[in-house]
Amino acid sequence: MRVVFLGSGAFAIPSLEALIEAGHQVAALITQPDRQKGRGRAVAPPPLKPVAEAHGISVLQPQRIRDPEALETLRRLSPEIQVVAAYGQILPRAVIDLPSRGTINVHASLLPVHRGAAPIQWAIVRGDAETGVTTMQIDEGLDTGPVLLSRRTSIGPEETAVDLEPRLARLGALVLVDTLRGMETGTVHPIPQDHARATLAPALRKEDGRIRWERPAQEIARRVRGFQPWPGSTTSIQGKGLKVLKARIGPPGPGEPGRIVGVDAHSVVVGCGEGSRLLLLEVQPESRRPMTAAAFAAGAHLDPGARFL
């Protein structure tokens, strides 16, 4: 098929590469404009741009995909189908309906569960045992279009969002190629979603990462895993910020939420809500490198009774 690919983030890289390997004609990559990043504010391209350039694919970076100039460019490309993966802009109806075979999306959840911008992170935070990737026909709703194909995978008990995303990206590439093959052979057909089962996975905010110690330890531990690398899981002690990088549920026991109830050679034990306890294993103090929680406690002279805020 003649494909126009709309994507920006690293999640989309395996899908683009799989289309090329499968012999589809990728007419162009539509991606986000280059942005300033990091402390030095150096201009950096979106992750997908150098991949497309390495394959000799034309790269277009409209500020807004809904602008008339961008729409006219898409018309001139004459795509048979458009594929969207981690693009970062909402498509208007004029763009969605442009290709003869429509526009499909590679979404990192088992729709209709976890519609929205952060399905990988919320699947972990909400304690799902499994997740997956779905291809769907895009409509004007938020991931509400008919499903084409989906594949499942389990979520490991210690798996973080950083671990899970590349796995789902690779799975998404396989599902995408199977979807296009099925569309060509007539074996894949759109199936309407059951909207009554829908859940949302909204974009992450900085405040989502603030640890609320009154939550049960199990929930806090899932947030530590799910909110990596951003917004992270943060707290403070002795007037300074601290990022929790790795944590595990401890044996239940009494303890005021946020209060340190024990320090040993391997962890810092903190009281949480509902009589639960969390073992802090790895942390990162403000403006310092990551370290074990035990090393941090020793250096900061933390004893039982000190409290995280």
CA distance 92 to 65: 8
Fold of the CATH domain 2-197: Rossmann fold (3.40.50)
Does domain 206-300 fall under CATH 3.30.413.10? My reply is no
In order along its 309 residues, the chain shows pLDDT tens digits of 999 999 999 999 999 999 999 999 999 999 999 998 877 778 999 999 999 999 999 999 999 999 999 999 999 999 999 999 999 999 999 999 999 999 999 999 999 999 999 999 999 999 999 999 999 999 999 999 999 999 999 999 999 999 999 999 999 999 999 999 999 999 999 999 999 999 999 999 999 999 999 999 999 999 999 999 999 999 999 999 999 999 999 999 999 999 999 999 999 999 999 999 999 999 999 989 999 999 999 999 999 999 999
Return residue ranges of the chain for CATH 3.10.25.10: 206-300
Return residue ranges of the chain for CATH 3.40.50.170: 2-197
Q: Which residues in the chain belong to E strands, given as ranges?
A: 2-7, 25-30, 35-37, 42-44, 59-60, 81-85, 103-107, 130-137, 147-154, 234-237, 240-250, 260-263, 268-271, 277-285, 291-292
Encode 180-206: b = buried (16+ Cβ within 10 Å), e = exposed: beebeeeebeeeebeeeebeebeebee
CA distance 290 to 21: 40
Residue among 116, 115, 85 nearest 197 (CA) = 115
0.85 cut: is pTM over it?
Answer: yes
Residue among 188, 202, 56, 241 nearest 121 (CA) = 202
Neighbours of 140 (CB within 10 A): 11
